[in-house]
Amino acid sequence: MDTPEAVDSEQQESPDDVSDQQQSPAPAEGAEGEVIIETRSLTKVYRDFWGRPKVRAVKALDMQVRRGEIFGLLGPNGSGKSTTIKLLLGLLFPTSGQALVFDKNSTDVSKNERIGYLPEESYLYKFLNAEETLDFYGRLFNMSAAQRRSRTQQLIDLVDLNWAKRRQLKEYSKGMTRRIGLAQALINDPELILLDEPTTGLDPIGTREMKDLIIKLRDQGKTVLMCSHLLADVQDVCDRIAILHQGELKELGRVDDLLSVQDVTQIQARGLTPEAEEEIRQVIERHQGELVTMENPSTTLEDLFLKIVRESDSASTAEMTEK
């Protein structure tokens, strides 16, 4: 199969990326790399009070996340992303199938030693201040006082909340809460970080910083599983994505693979003279190619996403009409 080195869109100029690609080249599907998360036909059915199945939130999900990658779960609201993360964390129990984290059952508490979790909204104790919050979670990891002190300061610096560390969280803005939430997720220097909608409620700068941080974490060798319904986030930072819709896995693979259209080659260049352009045009013609466009490219993940959603919707409506 021909896999030309994709010319990635906007964000490729960051110098980190280069080093990252050198350190741990994004593993291809089915490629080498230790499996950190694995689900085996993972299914979750929500039941009503009488035990009758109500919602099938996740349907027979099979996926693997490997060490060192940023894995994105993508899907519209209610597609089962959050449920999957909660299943992986043991906050929910699978109806059938298995969720394994570090080769351990997701309900095993001891796996939490190596996990950091940033919930959808930062569910933190509002009556604590930043320091107390981090100290509290540090203690839950059985860290010594000295460790906790240094780690707390480190993280507060990292999320840049030093100026507000003595304030109760109820006085925090949404963005600050998010940051302290991230800090608590990192308190144990986790190997695996699960981020549930990491950029919701953040302003563009905050979003940018969050993304940078995620990539930085990956660069430090951590594995990141994040879910989002914001395509830009996923596209920007994820190495691989899984697209979920109505609890089913629709697509899984490397972001660039998923987005590359095999029979379409996109050319982008700067500073070409009209002559040069004409020359290229001719080259294409010479090879019996047809020039489609020669403009600034659009976000094609959106297209892909919408296509999947539409297909699956029409399939289900077809199913319904069949019935």
Partner 1 sequence: MVVDPSEFITFNEWFPLAIWSYAKIVLLLLSAGLGICFAIAVVRHGPTEAIYIISRAVTGFFSRDGVQVSPRRVIALAQLAIKESLRRRVLVVFGVFVLVMLFAGWMLDVESDNPARLYLGFVLTMSNYLVLALAMFLSAFSLPNDIKDRTIYTVATKPVRPLEIFWGRVLGFITVGTILLVVMGVVSGIFVHRGLDHRHQVETTSADFDSELKRHSGETSRDAHHRHDFFVDEETVIGGEIIGTTDPIVKEHRHQVTLKEDDSLQIGRPQGSLQARVPIYGKLFFRNREGQAEDVGLNVGKEWTYRSYIEGNTLSAAVWNFSGVDETKFPEGLLLEMDIRVFRTSKGEIEAQIPGEIILRNPNPKPDADPARQACMPIPFAATEFAASEVFVGLDQLKFQDVSGQLKPLNLFEDLVDENGQLEVWIRCRERAQFFGMAQADVYLKAQNNSFWMNFAKCHLGLWMQMVLVVLFGVFFSTFLTGIVAMKATLATIVLGMFSGFLADVHSGEVAGGGPLESLFRNTTQQGVTTDLDVSEGTSAVMKTTDRVYLRSMMLISGHLPNYPEFNTIRKVAYGYDISHHIIARHMVITFGYFLVLSVMGYFVLRTREFAA
Give the nearest distance from C-beta 139 to partner 1 in angstroms.
4
Report d(CA 117, CA 74) in Å as an integer: 18
Report d(CA 51, CA 283) in Å as an integer: 66
Give the nearest distance from C-beta 225 to partner 1 in angstroms.
13
Question: Based on CB atoms, which residue is closest to partner 1, 125 or 221?
Answer: 125
| Distance (Å) of CA 112 to CA 141, 283, 286 | 9, 57, 59
Taking the CA of residue 263 as centre, how many other CA atoms within 13 Å lie in the half-sphere pointing to its CB? 4
Give the nearest distance from C-beta 94 to partner 1 in angstroms.
10
Tell me the CA end-to-end span of the chain in Å, nearest whole number.
40
Give the nearest distance from C-beta 92 to partner 1 in angstroms.
5
Give the nearest distance from C-beta 48 to partner 1 in angstroms.
12
Question: Based on CB atoms, which residue is closest to partner 1, 120 or 257?
Answer: 120
Question: Based on CB atoms, which residue is closest to partner 1, 117 or 172?
Answer: 117
Question: Based on CB atoms, which residue is closest to partner 1, 141 or 191?
Answer: 141
Neighbours of 249 (CB within 10 A): 21
Chain centroid offset of residue 240 CA: 8
Question: Whose CA is closest to 258, among 244, 246, 240?
Answer: 240
Give the nearest distance from C-beta 6 to partner 1 in angstroms.
35
Give the nearest distance from C-beta 51 to partner 1 in angstroms.
9
User: Which region holds residue 175: left if phi is over 0, alpha if psi is between -120 and 50, else beta?
Assistant: alpha
| Distance (Å) of CA 95 to CA 62, 84, 313 | 14, 12, 25
Give the nearest distance from C-beta 50 to partner 1 in angstroms.
13
By CB under 8 A, name the binding residues for partner 1: 46, 86, 89-93, 109-110, 112-113, 115, 117, 119, 121-125, 127-128, 136-137, 139-142, 181, 184, 188
Question: Based on CB atoms, which residue is closest to partner 1, 101 or 231?
Answer: 101
Question: Based on CB atoms, which residue is closest to partner 1, 95 or 312?
Answer: 95
Question: Based on CB atoms, which residue is closest to partner 1, 43 or 235?
Answer: 43
Question: Based on CB atoms, which residue is closest to partner 1, 6 or 55?
Answer: 55
Q: Are strands 70-74 and 223-228 parallel, antiparallel or unpaired?
A: parallel
Both tokens assigned to 27: 């593993």
